[in-house]
Amino acid sequence: MLNFKGEQTMIEIKNISQAYGNTQVLREVNLIIKEKRITALIGANGAGKSTLLNVAANLLEPCAGTVLLDGKDIKEMKSQDIAKRIAILKQTQHLNMRISVRDLVSFGRYPHSQGRLKDEDEQKIRQAIEYMNLKEIENKFIDELSGGQRQRAYIAMILAQDTKYIFLDEPLNNLDIKYSVEMMTILRKLVKELSKTVIIVMHDINFAAAYADDIVAMKGGQIMKEGAAQDIIDQTVLTEVFDHEFCIANVYGKKVCVYFPPEDKSAKGDAINE
């Protein structure tokens, strides 16, 4: 993908391998992340999804391979410059920190301001807070918030960081269904309204099916299959990825995965047919 200046604008993952001790976590992974879309990384536990995300965001140095961010090797970039382009949110467990929502959001300006907030930074902070509907609770401490509010506060921080890419590591963990749907709706809005590129590690295959544009299915440290969500949510593909029988149903025109084996074996297949 080229922008009008003819520069490459994308994230390209080339031949990435990673190992912890003798365990090979990633094996020569190649992936190009498409712009202005939500890409979901799915797979069983230990498939290497989170590791891949961490490597792509430069939180983890791979044993081999390169990550190209907008055409440049990420290893040769300053961490501050990377943080201006990629924002990453990992599973959040800072519950013992008493930080107000506003302070948290202002941390997002660190790559730009180095801790000294200018008018422009204050403005971005205010916009992010308003965009995520946090105005009323901006002075509350994050340990006083509900799970959904807290997750929204973290997203506001990422918005204040003002990056093109947003990486999320299982953001739906510990969220009620209501807040999970809210979170995914927000992410769709970010892609549509703010032209963000979102890469998200997910556990719930149905959320990926419903909200992601592209899905990357991983198994054993390798990419099994990648493509548009419609193509990946497929009985044979998923059965292979998860080592488990799947059944794809069609509800409201959306594909839904059913992964409970039928009690009566002969009933199997009733729900198929799209």
Partner 1 sequence: MQTLKVTKDKKVNGVTIKRISLFLIFIILTVLSLMIGADNNVTIGNLIKMDDTAGQTFIISRAPRTIAIILTASGLSIAGLIMQAISRNKFMSPSTSGTTDAAMLGVLLSYLLIGKQPHIIQVIFAFIFALCSTILFMTVLNKIKLRDAVYVPLVGMMYGAIIKAFTTAIAYHFGALQIVSIISLGTFNRFTNFNLLYIVLVPLFLSVIYATRFSIAGMGEDFSKGLGLNYKRTIFLGLCIIAVISAASFVTVGPITFVGLIIPNMVSAFYGDDVKKSIFDVAVLGAVFVLLCDIFSRLIIYPYEVAVGFTIGIVGGLIFLIILFRRIKYGKQ
Residue ranges in contact with partner 1 by CB under 8 A? 54, 57-59, 78-84, 87-90, 94, 96-100, 103, 107-108, 110-111, 114-115, 139, 141, 143, 161
Which of 39, 161 has the CB closer to partner 1? 161
Tell me if residue 201 falls in helix, strand or coil: strand
Which of 57, 218 has the CB closer to partner 1? 57
Least distance (Å) between residue 227 CB and partner 1? 28
Q: H or E element: which one contains 229?
A: helix 229-232
Dist CA 149 CA 54 (whole Å): 25
Dist CA 203 CA 161 (whole Å): 26
Least distance (Å) between residue 145 CB and partner 1? 13
Least distance (Å) between residue 58 CB and partner 1? 8
Least distance (Å) between residue 231 CB and partner 1? 32
Token pair for residue 233? 């949510």
Dist CA 187 CA 152 (whole Å): 11
Confirm if 13 and 5 have CB atoms less than 8 A apart: no
Which of 59, 271 has the CB closer to partner 1? 59
Dist CA 23 CA 261 (whole Å): 32
Least distance (Å) between residue 165 CB and partner 1? 12
Which of 2, 97 has the CB closer to partner 1? 97
Confirm if 161 and 168 have CB atoms less than 8 A apart: no
Residue whose C-alpha is closest to residue 130's, from 102, 98, 109, 161: 102
Which of 62, 111 has the CB closer to partner 1? 111
Least distance (Å) between residue 133 CB and partner 1? 17
Which of 3, 123 has the CB closer to partner 1? 123
User: Cα separations (Å) of 254 from 110, 210, 248, 249?
Assistant: 41, 7, 10, 8
Cα angle: 201, vertex 166, 81; to 5 degrees: 130
User: Cα separations (Å) of 172 from 23, 73, 91, 150?
Assistant: 28, 31, 9, 12
| Sheet of strand 72-73: strand arrangement | 23-33, 11-20, 64-69, 72-73
The separation between the first and the last C-alpha atoms of the chain, rounded to the nearest angstrom, is 34
Least distance (Å) between residue 161 CB and partner 1? 7
Least distance (Å) between residue 95 CB and partner 1? 8
Which of 158, 183 has the CB closer to partner 1? 158
Which of 146, 250 has the CB closer to partner 1? 146
